[in-house]
C-alpha cells in the first residue's frame, strides 16, 4: 500500500534540548500506526511539527501524499487532509457541541459544502463518535470523555485522510477506554489512516497495525506491536535497566 505520510529526518530543538532528533517514519494508507514512548520522548512534538501547530520542524522533510508540507501554513495542512487531536481536552468552550464540529465542516477542507450539507455532516459526525442528544449544549459544560469525543468529531468533520490522535484515552475510566478503542476501530474501518499516540498500552496494542517507540527524541524501534513491547531496549526505556536504579529513564 502507498505511503500517506513520510517523515524524513525531522529535527526540533528548544535551546539545548533536541525534542525530536532526526526522526523518520512512513505511514501506509489505511493503517493504524501507534507511537509510544516515555514522557518527554517527543511524541506530541512530532504531531506538532507534522501539523505546524504551534510550530514547524527546524529541519527535515514531511511529505503528505508525496507533497512537501513542512513549510505549509497550519490551516492549509488541515485543508490538505491532516487533522489532529490534542493531549489535553481542547474545545471552543462557549460554542455549542454542534458549532464546535460544524466549524470543521466549514473551514476544514478545500471543497465547499452547502449549508444543508454542513449541518448534515455535523450531525452525522457527532452521532458517529457517540455524542447523541442535545447538540446545543456549550462545549464547556460536558464531561472529559465527551470532550475527547467532541475533539475527535471536530477533527473528523474536516474529512481528513490522516488522523493524528494524541492520547485519546488519557484520564478515562476503563469502560470509557473500551469505548474509545471501539471508536478508533470504527474510524479505521471508514478508511482513514490513523497515527495514534497513547500511554494506555493495551489500547495501543489492540488497535495498532505497527508500533514505533520514541525515546529522547529518537526512534528506538519500530515493528509489529507484540514484538516491539518485548524489545529489551523498549523495556529499558520505560522501566530502566535491571539494577540501574540511579538513572531516570524518562
Partner 1 sequence: MKTLVRPPVIARALVLIALLAVPLVVEDQYIRHTLVVAMLYAIVAANWDVTLGFAGIFNFGHLAFFALGAYSAGMLTKKFGFPTWTGIPFAALVATIASLIVCLPVLRLKGIYVVLVTYAFSQLCYQVILNQTEYTGGTFGLVLVPPLEVFGYSFRSAGNIPYYYLALALLVVSTVYLHFVIRSNLGRSIIALRDNEAYAISRGVALARQRFLTFGASAIFTGAAGGLYAQYLRTASPDMFGFAFVTFTLAMLLLGGIGTMWGPIIGAFVFTFISEAMIDLKEWRWLIIGTLIVVVLRFFPAGLLSLVEQIGERLGRRLQPAAPVPAPERPGSG
Contact stretch for partner 1 (CB under 8 A) within 11-19, 32-40, 133-141, 227-235: 133-141
Binders of partner 1 among 168-207, rule CB under 8 A? 176, 179
Residue 197, classified by CB atoms within 10 Å of its CB into exposed (0-12), middle (13-18) or buried (19+), is buried
Work out the angle at residue 187's Cα, subtended by the Cα atoms of residues 208 and 38, and round it to the nearest 5 degrees: 35
Binders of partner 1 among 45-74, rule CB under 8 A? 51, 53-54, 73-74
* Rounded alpha-carbon distances, angstroms, from residue 26 to 64, 123, 141: 10, 33, 39
43-70 per-residue burial string, b: 16 or more CB within 10 A, e: under 16: bbbbbbbbbbeeebbeebebbbbeeebb
Q: How far is the CB of 246 from partner 1 (least distance, A)?
A: 39
Place of cell 487531536: 85
H runs (alpha helix) in the chain: 43-51, 74-80, 97-107, 115-128, 144-156, 174-189, 201-207, 225-228, 232-239
**44 or 221: CB nearest partner 1:** 44
**33 or 86: CB nearest partner 1:** 86
**45 or 100: CB nearest partner 1:** 100
Examine residue 130 and tell whether it contacts partner 1 (CB under 8 A). Answer: yes
Q: Rounded CA gap, 224 and 151, in Å?
A: 28
Contact stretch for partner 1 (CB under 8 A) within 4-12, 35-43, 136-144, 187-195: 136-144
DSSP 72: S
Q: Rounded CA gap, 205 and 237, in Å?
A: 17
**22 or 171: CB nearest partner 1:** 171
**156 or 211: CB nearest partner 1:** 156
Binders of partner 1 among 96-115, rule CB under 8 A? 99-100, 102-104, 106-109
**Neighbour count for residue 239 (Cβ, 10 Å):** 11
Q: Rounded CA gap, 154 and 191, in Å?
A: 17
Examine residue 131 and tell whether it contacts partner 1 (CB under 8 A). Answer: yes
Q: How far is the CB of 46 from partner 1 (least distance, A)?
A: 15
Q: How far is the CB of 62 from partner 1 (least distance, A)?
A: 16
| Total residues interacting with partner 1, rule: CB under 8 A | 45
**22 or 74: CB nearest partner 1:** 74
Q: How far is the CB of 170 from partner 1 (least distance, A)?
A: 14
Examine residue 75 and tell whether it contacts partner 1 (CB under 8 A). Answer: yes
> Which residues make up the interface to partner 1 (CB under 8 A)?
51, 53-54, 73-75, 78-79, 83-84, 86, 90-95, 99-100, 102-104, 106-109, 130-134, 137, 141-146, 149, 154-155, 157-158, 176, 179
Amino acid at each position: 500500500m502507498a505511503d500517506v505520510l513520510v517523515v524524513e529526518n525531522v529535527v526540533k530543538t528548544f535551546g539545548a534540548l533536541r525534542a525530536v532528533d532526526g526522526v523518520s517514519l512512513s505511514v501506509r494508507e489505511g493503517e493504524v500506526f501507534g507511537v509510544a514512548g516515555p514522557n518527554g520522548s517527543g511524541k506530541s512534538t512530532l504531531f506538532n511539527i507534522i501539523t505546524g501547530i504551534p510550530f514547524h520542524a527546524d529541519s527535515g522533510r514531511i511529505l503528505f501524499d508525496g507533497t512537501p508540507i513542512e513549510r505549509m501554513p497550519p490551516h492549509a495542512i488541515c485543508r490538505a487532509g491532516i487533522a489532529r487531536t490534542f493531549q489535553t481536552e481542547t474545545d471552543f468552550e462557549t460554542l455549542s457541541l454542534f458549532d464546535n464540529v460544524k466549524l470543521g465542516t466549514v473551514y476544514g477542507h478545500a471543497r465547499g459544502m452547502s449549508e444543508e450539507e454542513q449541518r448534515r455532516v455535523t450531525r452525522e459526525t457527532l452521532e458517529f463518535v457517540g455524542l447523541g442528544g442535545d447538540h446545543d449544549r456549550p462545549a464547556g459544560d460536558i464531561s472529559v470523555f465527551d470532550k475527547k469525543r467532541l475533539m475527535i468529531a471536530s477533527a473528523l468533520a474536516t474529512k481528513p485522510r490522516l488522523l493524528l490522535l494524541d492520547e485519546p484515552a488519557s484520564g478515562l475510566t476503563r469502560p470509557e477506554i473500551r469505548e474509545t478503542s471501539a471508536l478508533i476501530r470504527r474510524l479505521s474501518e471508514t478508511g482513514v489512516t490513523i497515527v495514534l499516540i497513547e500511554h494506555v498500552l493495551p489500547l495501543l496494542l489492540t488497535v495498532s497495525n505497527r508500533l514505533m517507540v520514541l525515546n529522547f527524541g529518537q526512534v528506538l524501534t519500530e515493528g509489529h506491536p507484540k514484538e516491539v513491547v518485548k524489545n529489551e531496549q523498549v523495556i529499558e526505556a520505560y522501566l530502566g535497566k535491571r539494577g540501574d536504579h540511579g538513572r531516570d529513564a524518562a
